[in-house]
A and B are shown apart, each in its own frame.
Chain A
């Protein structure tokens, strides 16, 4: 199932309450965990041994908001300052498929970094980290 951004709703869950983002330009997930194969230098067996890399690194989710209300900004700032755990979600409206980051933190303070006439200057990036990222596919 492929997510199309124009079918998705995005937001966070804070203290059991959902907060939806009105304008989102992107939802990027980086998962450093990989499963690899290795074997002894004697090269005796072709099956190999599996091991994982990147398990100590959190999954990173980057949500690009276009514009942000003052209320949301203040709330996100408080969440960042208090290191409160939140959940961030991307849900396909048509199927209910979802990507949800649970027990997540904001790893950087949300802020508008650029002020100029470029429309991208309205972007505010949310950087989220979590070890508990779930995805549910539905048809």
Chain B
């Protein structure tokens, strides 16, 4: 750089702040069970071969078949993935769980159920919810002489051993021993059947596991869309009702992955994918069955004689599938517009500047209305008493999708 040039005409260049990237909204993370030593680390896959090197599950391949050029894949044996994705929350906005996992695992921990087991006259219930609680085992042994009918408890990981006097130690005594052991109490609680406290309990072998614990899915701070597929209608309905969750009723994961792939591979627009052709037949041919699935807003594929397999509903959280994406896209665009405006204009804290900023934000909403992503929207920005910060209120209509038409045909004479 010439010293004379800088001496004669010093120029301070100010680079504009670029618009925020919304590319991550079109990216997806697949969670599948591993077939190699690569476990619990997110990988990028651009080819079918790369996917097959990480997992034996073929669901993710449908994303590439649908037109996506790359996906993230997390090979893992469990769905408690909050720590595994914590550093990548801005890399994708959709998590799809492969059909490797059971419906019980797909239920989120918060909605899941505790594991339990009735042994003799005592009901044991896990403290926590989740499928992992089914690993808790209990065994009654008679290893040491206990003429007084007492009980001792030993805990090793999730294995609880209660040493009793076979046929002498009663239920109340066992419960008291459990309640006195911190390690055991951390795992489970127990309740004695009414009036059975004095009944002697018997030893047994082998150890029994608690059962019916459900729920494992834990995505931590992730606030995007989750796709869950199951062949159980009850679970599909439950998934479909959860906010930003797509409950897909299918025999396997192919259809759900393909549907998401089609939607996310469109870089220009957000489309609901009404009645697109689908790769897998889920044998839903009956109109009555379709109506029931529709009523619960479960996503599914209908098989027709003429039209073969078609996506018959694609929704999440009982909203149009594109709704959370459009809202997030709008949020980012509005944030970006505000940042660019403030950086470019260095505004004072005045009503005039608030009005101009509001105008800039409204332009973003108006562009979404023009694209028919939302029907209407209004933004208002006010100055508060404090310096530096203004408050805003944004009201937009919910993005919706038209799937069906109900009509009445009246014949006249």
Residues of chain A at the chain B interface (Cβ within 8 Å): 9, 13, 16-18, 87, 89, 91-98, 100, 102, 134, 136, 138
* Apart from the given pairs A9-B352, A134-B362, A136-B355, 5 other A-B contacts in the complex at a CB distance below 8 Å: A16-B341, A18-B345, A91-B356, A96-B352, A100-B359
Interface of B is mostly: helix
B340 contacts A16, C-beta separation under 8 Å: yes
The residue of chain A having its C-beta at the shortest distance from the C-beta of B347 within the complex is A18
Cα-based distance from A100 to B355 in the complex (angstroms): 10
Residue B351 CB within 8 A of the other chain: yes
B356 proximity list for chain A (CB < 8 A): 13, 18, 89, 91, 98
CB of B344 closer than 8 Å to a CB of A = yes
Most buried by B among A9, A87, A95, A96: A96
B12 within 8 A of A: no
Taking the complex as formed, is B363 at the interface, i.e. its CB lies under 8 A from any CB of chain A?
yes
B221-252 toward A: CB 8 Å interface, digit per residue (1/0)?
00000000000000000000000000000000
Chain A residues, CB < 8 A from B363? 102
B2 at the interface (CB under 8 A from A): no
Residues of B near A96 (CB, < 8 A) are 351-352, 354-355
Interface string of B337-371 (1 = CB under 8 A from A): 00011001100001110111011101100000000
User: Closest B-chain residue to A98, C-beta based?
Assistant: B355
CB neighbours (8 Å) of A87 from chain B are 359
Alpha-carbon separation in the docked complex, A18 to B355 (Å): 12
| Chain A nearest CB, measured from B11 CB (Å) | 16
CB-based nearest B residue for A17: B344
* Chain A residues with CB below 8 A from B358, complex form: 136
22 contacts between A and B (CB under 8 A): A9-B352, A13-B356, A13-B359, A16-B340, A16-B360, A17-B344, A18-B345, A89-B356, A91-B351, A91-B352, A91-B356, A95-B351, A96-B351, A96-B352, A96-B355, A98-B355, A98-B359, A102-B363, A134-B359, A134-B362, A136-B355, A138-B355
Q: Tell me if A's interface is mostly helix, strand, loop or mixed.
A: strand
The residues of A that contact B345 with a CB separation of less than 8 Å are 16-18
Most buried by A among B345, B354, B356: B356
Which 9 A-B residue pairs are closest in the complex by CB-CB distance? A96-B351, A96-B355, A91-B352, A98-B355, A91-B355, A9-B352, A18-B345, A17-B344, A16-B344
Give chain A residues whose Cβ lies under 8 Å from the Cβ of B344.
Answer: 16-17
Instruction: Give chain A residues whose Cβ lies under 8 Å from the Cβ of B350.
Output: 93
Q: Which residues of A contact B355 (CB under 8 A)?
A: 89, 91, 96-98, 136, 138
Which residues in A have their C-beta under 8 angstroms from that of B341?
A: 16
Within the complex, what minimum Cβ distance (angstroms) separates A128 from chain B?
16
Q: In the complex, how many angstroms separate the beta carbon of A132 from the nearest chain B beta carbon?
A: 9
Q: With a CB–CB cut-off of 8 A, which chain B residues contact A89?
A: 355-356, 359
| A97–B350 alpha-carbon span in the complex (Å) | 12
B 84-104 binary contact with A (CB < 8 Å = 1; else 0)? 000000000000000000000
CA distance A134 to B356 in the complex (A): 12
Tell me which residues across on chain A come within 8 A of B340, comparing CB atoms.
Answer: 16
Which B residues touch A102, using CB under 8 A?
363
From residue B349, how far is it (CB to closest CB) to chain A in Å? 12
Are the CB atoms of B359 and A93 closer together than 8 Å? no
Q: Give min CB distance, B290 to chain A, whole Å.
A: 44
Q: Which residues of B contact A98 (CB under 8 A)?
A: 355-356, 359
Q: Which residue of B lies closest to A97 (CB)?
A: B355
Q: Mark B56-86, 1 if CB is under 8 A from A, else 0.
A: 0000000000000000000000000000000
State A94–B354 Cα separation when bound (angstroms): 12
* 0 or 1 for each of B4-40: is its CB under 8 Å from A? (1 = yes): 0000000000000000000000000000000000000
CA distance A29 to B44 in the complex (A): 57
State in angstroms the CA–CA spacing of A49 and B354 once bound together. 41
Rounded to whole angstroms, the CA-CA distance of A95 and B383 in the bound complex is: 11
For A132, the closest partner residue in chain B by CB is B366
CA distance A136 to B352 in the complex (A): 12
Q: Which residues of A contact B359 (CB under 8 A)?
A: 13, 87, 89, 98, 100, 134
Measured in the bound complex, the distance between the Cα atoms of B340 and A87 in whole Å is 17
> What is the minimal beta-carbon distance from B300 to any residue of chain A, in angstroms?
43
Q: Which residue of B lies closest to A102 (CB)?
A: B363
A81–B362 alpha-carbon span in the complex (Å): 28
CA distance A100 to B351 in the complex (A): 15
Chain B hits for A9, CB < 8 A: 352
- B89 CB, min distance to chain A CBs, angstroms: 30
Least CB distance from B122 to A in Å reads 68
A72 vs chain B, min Cβ distance (A): 16
Distance between Cα atoms of A97 and B354 in the complex (Å): 10
Specify which chain B residues have a CB less than 8 angstroms from the CB of A138 in the assembled complex: 355
A13 to B355 alpha-carbon distance, docked (Å): 13
In the complex, A95 Cα to B352 Cα: how many Å? 8
B residues in contact with A94, CB < 8 Å:
351
Taking CB atoms, residues of chain A closer than 8 Å to B351 are: 91-96
Chain B min CB distance to A48 (Å): 29
